[in-house]
């Protein structure tokens, strides 16, 4: 009956291909399950969605653990890789997601939206982030970036009762799409220069196989890299593309802020390392000056702006900007050591930064104003455990030993000094010193200033307590015994080096 | 150069003929509708102008042309004027790839009986049909009248809702035929005897027919034009020739949908029983017979349009959306999945 | 390859010219005697109606949004539909996954009442 | 390219750029939308010239037939609004953005324009495949090499569905609503019937304003 | 003049720039949003141009992905806009109630 001669087209996608995206598939399927739960299960018992999300995240983590030794670096027609680098970031993202879910539980009760949708979006954004870490082609990177941003746009504008939340969600949306446009324009030009969207192929092309000579001098590549830097810088809220960050962080639901402050950066930096340090390694001289300027501006202005904030969420937003600068420094080392520092930094950052947001979130779910720093007076009396933990997080963020943040920063600085850019190290150290002031100010308010006499006690739900404990354990643990995790980070970067033959 | 002139001349002739044909069929479709509705409601229908009222469409056209053009105060003039033109433009463009008969030879070259034969085939058609909403949305918005706006929104929401099922039904046909080309689909239907797709795809046929009715805002889906509730829908503020263009677009769309049904489901220009009892594709007059069959089948489907208008009561708007999204769409998906399963296994 | 589209171009010119001339001719023929009532928006013969406050007609957006999402699905069906014979069962499965996922979305949308019209 | 194609290219490009100018400079959102539709359709023509026929059709179907319709829906229903939350322009922002844009354009055009030969570096056989069946060649790639991105888009669509449903949900007093929401809803049971001239009830401000004016006469 | 790859790329660069100008100079969020769409579309043109002149499928597939992404983006963005105005409407009403006391 057919009018066309049907020549068979073989679809070469097997179990190992899907296995490579196992964690993503688990979470993606959970998104669907959550939607069905939301649709069919009466609202009274919808706490189940919290549990479903947690179980799925644990399952995904187990799969990650399994994939660590069974990864496939060339799955699904080379679009996806589950090398150790991707897997490591998957782990970081899953851990952050677990913390965010634990934190959200008490938040959801007091908010106006359906838990199913909320968790579905949270997990969908996690899938996007993981795909971004695992993406082996520009196409996947773009798709994953949009998946995570789109979910976060909705989450940021989710609090329907508050116009501020919605407006910040929308602003985030506009600016982020604007940045995406730059990003894909850059991708398009790089595709034009190298003839491929696959990162490994681009890397090979730039190293002179299958491409004309001087391809690294191709102006298309040059402009493409510039535009991509703009796009990526927007997404990691590097100066001068950081304007949206404080507004959005302030307006979004706090558990979401905590989550996105870490994981968006983690995902984008994973892609950053893969693209710039490895795929575009041969064009190093093109992107280095651009990113150098961005990194310096980010460190200086991020910290200076943070100084001026009296709102905790805004302060943490600017502190996040500044940390982006430190991580950029590690990236600029353009060496395995630098990449390892980036990887390790995010592990540390996940615990300490989400931890710092927990305070805000817990106070909010207590019905107390959570984000003005002056409202933390006397927290030490009200809840010594929470105050103590927050002190640990802030110390760690400031880079004070013996916490995780110190070691992370140390690795970054060591890498950049080793790469011969001492000026960046000096700027990083000086700006870190500035940051100590604004972190310690919070601690001082919390611990030393007395609160009102009849202030009510600050309670935490069981899940929130678990989240805080886990974060504090991570922050301290990574600081005291970093070696094991450092080795994992080194292995993950080695995997990248093998994949790109560098 | 010769080739270029040949192509241009051929397309020019075809375009003019097609537009003429479509407008003539618009005129006589209104006539036929009034006559048939009259019969069905025990009335005469138009019978004053010319024998049996046959010149009625001409009279109507003349009247519409000479009517005063009322342009209300607050309309956005440019959009207001462009909207009906968009409607008619889209309606005319959609017909371009429908083959009304078998190819023929003229001046030493095989020529097709469609204006164009493009690689993407039906995709072109679907793309053009999807532009149909613009005439309505823009017309209703530029009128600055809340009845228009609401009517326009309703019409366009209805159109896009049913467009999905229409598209899915069409894809099921493409899956069966394995080609997007309308001529290929006609060929596929007549390859082995008479395997017309309304036999192989009865559900698809039904879906397409219903979707087609809704796409054209015809009864029983003509609620957006319900006189009682919304005055006249999106074209409330239009008069004379401008109104006539909307009117014409609706009827030309009906003709296009009928022609599509003929092509996709009723075997195109091939006659009933052809290939089984006899085979006239090789006869010298095959082209004429083909066109005849094509017109006959399309006319039969057009009759269905009118018949249903006389028979079925109008749906309420909530019923209409309910039907489109909760019945038609799932059925269309299911139909497609089953068809695809069958095709993928053979 | 592009030659096949030349007829469409010509048709577009002819049809466009036809449509435009039909609109423009209305300025030439026909009387023009405007009055205040004639030029006011049509209100079923009543003037000075102040409409009751209407609901924010959110439904229309939701429908249009859902249409857009399902339209994407439909568009990706086209290349698949002509290749199904070559892709065999693998192609069917590929699309089944695609459809099944969107079906979950559809069920969710349905159950959430986004398709209910009042 | 043949002369016809050249002419088509120049006309379509000119129209596309004119449309782009219209998007940026039109007074009302709806005229921007119409200009954008013009640009989109002309881009489809350019895609045809580059033998991306499926993409051209998808462009019309998705962008012109669905995306822009959605835009028009929102524009017509929202009417004219004030957007305080977008913030005021900084002094000199317009001038700055013009300069920025000019620089961007110059750099891209300069760099792109000076390298005609660098492109022909990699040779695939995709054009040959396209020539033998456009949609099929596209589909073959989409369903083999790029099957994962293709399947991954579903999740994106699901997320968008959640967005459409959760953000577009009408708020009503609902037994299932959260405590907070219930409280809010009891505070304001229904919108008052008196405010009539608000633009966000779906009627363009112009229409209602006109009605108002007539009442006063 | 016969168009070559450069011509297409320049057209696309011009459109991209126009989109950027729109984003930076307009205040109406819908127009800003449409300018972003314009930028995305100019990128599409770039991709298709490269796809054609490199004879490589990646570009066309990428365009398809961008279209899907853009569609999803539009849905979410417009949902956000609508929801902002819905909330504002409700909040305005809230304030009216308060004033009546």
d(CA D171, CA E82): 13
Cis peptide before A96 (omega within 30 of 0): no
Q: Are B118 and B124 in contact (CB under 8 A)?
A: yes
pLDDT for residue E68 = 94
* Subunits adjacent to chain C (3 or more Cβ pairs under 8 Å): A, B, D, E
Contact between B134 and D69 using a beta-carbon 8 Å cutoff: yes
pLDDT beyond 60 at D192:
no
Label residue B40 by pLDDT band (50, 70, 90).
confident
Provide the CB-side half-sphere exposure for C47 (13 A, CA): 11
Residue B273: strand, helix, or coil: coil
Among chain A residues, CA nearest to D165: A117
Cα-Cα-Cα-Cα dihedral sign, residues D190, D192, D196, D199:
negative
Q: B109: which strand partners?
A: B106
- From chain E, the residues in CB contact with C63 under 8 A are none
Phi first, then psi: give them for residue D116, nearest 5 degrees.
Answer: -75, -30
pLDDT for residue E18 = 92
List the domain range (segments joined by +) for residue B173. Answer: 69-345
d(CA A228, CA A180): 9
User: Which long-range CB contacts under 8 A does B73-77 form with residues at least 24 apart?
Assistant: B73/C39, B73/C40, B73/C41, B73/D210, B74/B144, B74/C41, B74/D206, B74/D207, B74/D210, B75/B142, B75/B143, B75/B144, B75/B237, B76/B141, B76/B142, B76/B144, B76/D30, B77/B142
Residue A311: strand, helix, or coil: strand
List the domain range (segments joined by +) for residue A490. Answer: 15-500
pLDDT for residue D61 = 93
The mean pLDDT value of chain D amounts to 74
pLDDT beyond 70 at B58:
yes
Q: Which two tokens stand for residue B256?
A: 């296009």
Contact between E79 and C58 using a beta-carbon 8 Å cutoff: no
Give the count of domains, chain B. Answer: 1
d(CA A131, CA A148): 9
3-state secondary structure B47-107: CCCCHHHCCHHHHHHHHHHHCCCCCCCCCCHHHHHHHHHHHHHHHHHHHHHCCCCCCEEEC
CB atoms within 10 A of CB D140: 21
Residue B278: strand, helix, or coil: strand
- E60: nearest Cα among D59, A214, D99, A120: D59
B48 assigned to some structural domain: no
The nearest CA of chain C is from the CA of B59 a distance in Å of 15
Contact between A223 and D162 using a beta-carbon 8 Å cutoff: no
The mean pLDDT value of chain C amounts to 81
Q: CA separation (Å) from D65 to A145, A212, D69?
A: 26, 42, 6
From the CA atom positions of chain C, what is the Rg in Å? 25
Residue B109: strand, helix, or coil: strand
**B in contact with E (at least 3 C-beta pairs within 8 A):** no
Give the CATH number for residue E46: 1.10.287.3510
- From chain E, the residues in CB contact with A192 under 8 A are 9, 46, 49-50, 54
C68 shares contact with chain E (CB less than 8 Å): yes
Give this prediction's pTM: 0.91
Contact between A195 and D122 using a beta-carbon 8 Å cutoff: yes
Give the count of domains, chain A. Answer: 1
Phi first, then psi: give them for residue B84, nearest 5 degrees.
Answer: -65, -30
- B114: nearest Cα among B101, B132, B93, B99: B99
Q: Which two tokens stand for residue D152?
A: 């991954």
Q: What is the pLDDT of residues D13-66, one digit of tens each?
A: 999 999 999 999 988 888 999 999 999 999 999 999 998 999 999 999 999 989
Contact between A150 and E73 using a beta-carbon 8 Å cutoff: yes
Most confident of B67-71, B308-312, C35-39, D138-142: D138-142
Contact between B188 and A6 using a beta-carbon 8 Å cutoff: no
Residue ranges of E 39-98 with Cβ closer than 8 A to chain D: 41, 44-45, 48-57, 60-61, 63-65, 67-76, 78-86, 88-90, 93-94, 96-97
Q: CA separation (Å) from A446 to A359, A372, A387, A396, A451?
A: 11, 12, 7, 16, 9
CATH superfamily of domain region C2-111: NADH:ubiquinone/plastoquinone oxidoreductase, chain 3 (1.20.58.1610)
**Tens-level pLDDT at each residue, chain A (502 residues):** 344 456 788 888 888 888 889 999 999 999 999 999 988 888 777 678 899 999 999 999 999 999 998 877 788 888 998 889 999 999 999 999 999 999 888 777 766 668 888 999 999 999 999 999 999 999 999 999 999 999 998 888 777 666 777 777 788 888 899 999 999 999 999 998 888 899 998 988 888 777 777 777 778 888 889 999 999 998 888 988 888 888 888 888 888 999 999 999 999 999 999 999 999 988 888 899 999 999 999 999 999 999 988 888 899 999 999 999 999 999 999 999 999 999 999 999 999 999 998 888 888 877 776 678 888 888 888 888 888 999 999 999 999 888 999 999 999 999 999 999 999 999 999 999 999 999 999 999 888 887 765 566 777 788 888 889 999 999 999 888 889 999 999 999 998 888 888 7
B18 assigned to some structural domain: no
pLDDT beyond 80 at E9:
yes
The mean pLDDT value of chain E amounts to 85
- From chain C, the residues in CB contact with E79 under 8 A are 61, 65
pLDDT for residue B208 = 94
d(CA A21, CA A18): 5
B56 compared with E68, residue with greater pLDDT: E68
Q: Which residues contact D175 (CB under 8 A, 6 or more apart)?
A: none
Q: Are B180 and C80 in contact (CB under 8 A)?
A: no
A462-480 and A384-398 helices cross at what angle (nearest 10)?
A: 40
From the CA atom positions of chain A, what is the Rg in Å? 22
pLDDT beyond 60 at E98:
no
d(CA B299, CA B304): 9
d(CA A246, CA A171): 11
d(CA A62, CA A40): 29
* Percent of chain B with pLDDT strictly greater than 70: 93
pLDDT for residue A344 = 93
pLDDT for residue C51 = 46
Q: Which residues contact C113 (CB under 8 A, 6 or more apart)?
A: none
Read out DSSP for A433-451?
A: HHHHHHHHHHHHHHHTS--
Contact between A35 and C104 using a beta-carbon 8 Å cutoff: yes
Least confident of A26-40, A281-295, B39-53, D177-191: D177-191
Q: What is the pLDDT of residues E29-73, one digit of tens each?
A: 899 999 999 999 999 999 999 999 888 899 999 999 999 999 999
Q: What is the pLDDT of residues C54-105, one digit of tens each?
A: 445 678 888 888 999 999 999 999 999 999 988 889 999 999 999 999 999 9
Q: Are D130 and D56 in contact (CB under 8 A)?
A: no
Q: CA separation (Å) from A486 to A182, A271, B206?
A: 35, 20, 65
**B in contact with A (at least 3 C-beta pairs within 8 A):** yes
- Phi-psi domain of A435 (left: phi exceeds 0; alpha: psi -120 through 50; beta: other): alpha
pLDDT beyond 60 at D190:
no
Question: Distance of alpha carbon B244 from its chain centroid, rounded?
Answer: 17
Contact between B149 and D204 using a beta-carbon 8 Å cutoff: yes
pLDDT for residue A6 = 62
pLDDT for residue D199 = 36
Q: Are D56 and D79 in contact (CB under 8 A)?
A: no
B132-142 and B146-177 helices cross at what angle (nearest 10)?
A: 180
Which residue is associated with the tokens 């009408």?
Answer: D170
Label residue D85 by pLDDT band (50, 70, 90).
low
Phi first, then psi: give them for residue B289, nearest 5 degrees.
Answer: -65, -40
Probe site for chain E from D160, D166, D202, D203 (most E CB atoms < 10 A): D160
Residue B111 host element (H or E): strand B109-111
Least confident of A424-433, B54-63, B105-114: B105-114
d(CA A157, CA A149): 12
d(CA E94, CA D129): 62
Among chain E residues, CA nearest to A138: E62
Probe site for chain D from B122, B134, B143 (most D CB atoms < 10 A): B134
pLDDT beyond 50 at D112:
yes
Of the candidates A2, A9, A38, the beta carbon closest to that of C87 is on A9
Q: Which two tokens stand for residue A47?
A: 């706490």
Q: CA separation (Å) from E43 to A174, A185, A234, E40, E65?
A: 17, 5, 18, 5, 12
Among chain B residues, CA nearest to A4: B178
- Cα angle for residues A302, A307, A308 (degrees, 5° grid): 105
Q: Are A15 and B190 in contact (CB under 8 A)?
A: no
Direct distance between the N- and C-terminal alpha carbons of chain D, in angstroms, rounded to an integer = 64
Q: CA separation (Å) from C61 to A36, B143, B156, B302, D140?
A: 23, 20, 11, 33, 35
Residue B179 has what DSSP assignment? -
E67 compared with B45, residue with greater pLDDT: E67
B24 assigned to some structural domain: no
Give the count of domains, chain E. Answer: 1
Checking ipTM against 0.90, whether it exceeds it is yes
Q: What is the pLDDT of residues B59-101, one digit of tens each?
A: 888 888 887 777 777 788 888 889 999 999 999 999 888 988 8
Of the candidates E32, E33, E88, the beta carbon closest to that of A163 is on E88
Q: What is the pLDDT of residues C1-58, one digit of tens each?
A: 577 888 899 999 999 999 999 888 877 777 777 777 667 666 555 554 444 444 456 7
pLDDT for residue D45 = 93
pLDDT beyond 50 at D202:
no
pLDDT beyond 90 at D214:
no
């Amino acid at each position: 009956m057919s009018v066309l001669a049907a020549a068979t087209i073989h679809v070469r996608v097997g179990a190992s291909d899907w296995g490579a995206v196992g964690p993503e598939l688990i979470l993606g399927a959970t998104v669907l399950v959550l939607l069905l739960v939301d649709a069919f299960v009466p609202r009274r018992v919808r706490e189940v969605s919290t549990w479903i999300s947690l179980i799925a995240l644990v399952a995904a983590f187990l799969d990650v653990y399994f994939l660590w030794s069974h990864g496939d670096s060339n799955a699904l027609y080379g679009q996806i890789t589950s090398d150790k680098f991707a897997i490591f970031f998957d782990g970081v993202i899953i851990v952050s997601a677990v913390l965010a879910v634990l934190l959200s539980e008490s938040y959801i009760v007091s908010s106006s939206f359906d838990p199913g949708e909320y968790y579905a979006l949270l997990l969908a954004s996690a899938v996007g982030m993981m795909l971004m870490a695992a993406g082996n082609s520009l196409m996947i990177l773009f798709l994953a970036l949009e998946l995570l941003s789109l979910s976060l746009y909705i989450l940021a504008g989710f609090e329907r009762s508050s116009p501020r939340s919605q407006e910040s969600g929308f602003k985030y949306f506009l600016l982020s799409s604007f940045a995406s446009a730059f990003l894909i324009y850059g991708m398009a030009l790089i595709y034009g220069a190298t003839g491929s969207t696959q990162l490994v192929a681009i890397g090979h092309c730039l190293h002179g196989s299958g491409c004309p000579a001087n391809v690294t001098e191709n102006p298309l590549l040059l402009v493409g890299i510039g535009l991509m830097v703009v796009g990526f810088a927007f997404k990691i809220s590097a100066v001068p593309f950081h304007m949206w960050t404080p507004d959005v962080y302030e307006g979004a639901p706090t558990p979401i802020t905590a989550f996105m402050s870490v994981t968006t950066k983690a995902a984008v930096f994973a892609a950053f390392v893969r693209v710039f340090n490895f795929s575009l390694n041969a064009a190093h001289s093109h992107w280095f000056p651009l990113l150098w300027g961005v990194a310096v501006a980010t460190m200086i202005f991020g910290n200076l702006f943070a100084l001026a904030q009296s709102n905790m969420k805004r302060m943490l937003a600017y502190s996040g900007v500044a940390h982006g600068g430190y991580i950029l420094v590690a990236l600029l080392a353009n060496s395995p050591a630098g990449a390892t520092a980036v990887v390790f930094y995010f592990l540390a950052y996940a615990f300490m930064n989400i931890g710092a947001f927990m305070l805000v979130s817990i106070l909010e779910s207590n019905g107390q104003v959570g984000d003005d720093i002056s409202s933390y007076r006397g927290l030490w009396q009200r809840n010594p455990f929470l105050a103590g933990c927050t002190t640990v997080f802030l110390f760690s963020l400031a880079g004070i030993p013996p916490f995780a943040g110190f070691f992370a920063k140390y690795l970054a600085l060591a890498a950049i000094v080793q790469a011969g850019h001492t000026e960046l190290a000096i700027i990083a150290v000086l700006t870190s010193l500035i940051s100590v002031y604004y972190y310690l100010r919070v601690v001082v308010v919390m611990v030393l200033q007395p609160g009102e006499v009849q202030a009510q006690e600050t309670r935490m739900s069981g899940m929130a307590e678990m989240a805080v404990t886990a974060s504090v354990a991570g922050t301290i643990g990574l600081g005291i015994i970093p070696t094991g995790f450092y080795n994992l980070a080194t292995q993950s970067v080695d995997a990248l080096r093998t994949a790109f033959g560098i | 150069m010769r080739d270029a002139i040949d192509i241009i001349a051929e397309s020019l002739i075809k375009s003019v003929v097609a537009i003429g044909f479509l407008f003539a069929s618009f005129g006589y479709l209104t006539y036929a509708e009034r006559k048939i509705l009259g019969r069905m409601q025990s009335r005469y229908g138009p019978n004053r102008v010319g024998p049996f009222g046959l010149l009625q469409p001409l009279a109507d056209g003349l009247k519409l042309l000479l009517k005063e053009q009322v342009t209300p105060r607050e309309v956005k003039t440019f959009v207001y004027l462009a909207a009906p033109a968009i409607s008619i433009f889209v309606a005319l463009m959609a017909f371009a790839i429908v083959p009304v008969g078998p190819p023929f030879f003229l001046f030493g070259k095989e020529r097709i009986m469609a204006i164009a034969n493009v690689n993407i085939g039906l995709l072109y058609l679907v793309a053009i049909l999807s532009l149909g909403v613009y005439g309505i949305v823009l017309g209703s918005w530029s009128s600055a009248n809340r009845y228009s706006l609401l009517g326009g929104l309703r019409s366009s929401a209805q159109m896009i809702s049913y467009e999905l099922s229409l598209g899915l039904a069409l894809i099921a046909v493409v899956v069966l035929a394995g080609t997007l080309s309308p001529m290929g689909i006609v060929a596929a239907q007549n390859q082995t005897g008479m395997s017309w797709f309304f036999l192989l795809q009865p559900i698809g046929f039904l879906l397409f027919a219903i979707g087609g009715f809704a796409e054209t805002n015809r009864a029983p889906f003509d609620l957006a034009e319900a006189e009682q509730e919304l005055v006249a829908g999106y074209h409330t503020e239009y008069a004379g020739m401008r109104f006539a263009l909307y009117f014409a677009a609706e009827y030309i769309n009906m003709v296009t949908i009928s022609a599509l049904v003929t092509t996709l489901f009723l075997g195109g220009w091939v006659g009933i029983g052809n290939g089984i009892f006899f085979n006239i594709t090789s006869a010298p007059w095959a082209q004429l017979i083909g066109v005849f069959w094509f017109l006959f089948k399309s006319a039969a489907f057009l009759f269905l349009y009118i018949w249903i208008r006389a028979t079925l009561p109008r749906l309420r708007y909530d019923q209409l959306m309910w039907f489109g999204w909760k019945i038609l769409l799932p059925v269309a998906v299911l139909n497609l999945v089953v068809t695809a399963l069958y095709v993928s296994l053979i | 390859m592009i030659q096949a589209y030349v007829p469409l171009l010509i048709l577009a010119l002819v049809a466009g010219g036809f449509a435009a001339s039909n609109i423009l001719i209305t300025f030439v023929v026909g009387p023009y005697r405007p009055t205040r009532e004639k030029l006011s928006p049509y209100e079923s013969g009543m003037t000075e109606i102040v409409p009751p406050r209407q609901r924010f007609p959110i439904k229309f957006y939701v429908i249009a949004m859902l249409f857009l999402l399902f339209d994407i699905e439909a568009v990706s069906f086209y290349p698949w539909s002509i290749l199904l014979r070559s892709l065999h069962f693998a192609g069917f499965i590929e699309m089944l996954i695609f459809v099944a996922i969107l079906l979950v979305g559809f069920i969710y949308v349905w159950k959430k009442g986004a398709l209910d019209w009042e | 390219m043949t002369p016809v194609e050249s002419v088509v290219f120049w006309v379509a490009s000119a129209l596309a750029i004119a449309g782009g100018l219209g998007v940026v400079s039109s007074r009302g959102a709806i005229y921007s939308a119409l200009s954008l539709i013009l640009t989109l359709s002309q881009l489809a023509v350019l895609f045809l010239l580059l033998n991306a026929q499926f993409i051209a059709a998808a462009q019309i179907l998705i962008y012109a037939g669905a995306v822009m319709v959605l835009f028009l829906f929102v524009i017509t229903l929202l009417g004219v609004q004030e957007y305080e939350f977008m913030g005021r322009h900084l002094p000199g922002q317009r001038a700055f953005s013009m300069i920025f844009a000019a620089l961007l354009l110059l750099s891209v055009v300069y760099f792109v324009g000076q390298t005609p030969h660098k492109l022909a570096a990699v040779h695939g056989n995709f054009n040959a495949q396209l020539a033998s069946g456009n949609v099929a060649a596209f589909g073959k790639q989409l369903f083999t090499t790029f099957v994962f991105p293709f399947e991954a888009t579903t999740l994106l669509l699901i997320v968008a569905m959640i967005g459409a449903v959760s953000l577009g949900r009408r708020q009503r007093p609902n037994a299932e609503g959260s405590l907070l929401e219930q409280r809010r809803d009891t505070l304001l049971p229904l919108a008052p019937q008196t405010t009539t001239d608000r633009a966000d009830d779906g009627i363009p401000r112009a229409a209602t304003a006109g009605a108002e004016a007539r009442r006063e006469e | 003049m016969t168009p070559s790859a450069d011509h297409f790329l320049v057209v696309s660069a011009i459109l991209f720039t126009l989109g950027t100008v729109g984003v930076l100079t307009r205040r109406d969020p819908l127009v800003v949003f449409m300018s972003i769409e314009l930028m995305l579309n100019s990128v599409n043109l770039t991709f298709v141009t490269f796809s054609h002149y490199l004879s490589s499928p990646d570009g066309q597939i990428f365009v398809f992905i961008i279209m899907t992404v853009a569609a999803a983006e539009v849905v979410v963005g417009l949902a956000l806009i609508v929801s902002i105005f819905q909330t504002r409407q409700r909040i305005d009403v809230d304030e009216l109630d308060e004033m009546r006391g």
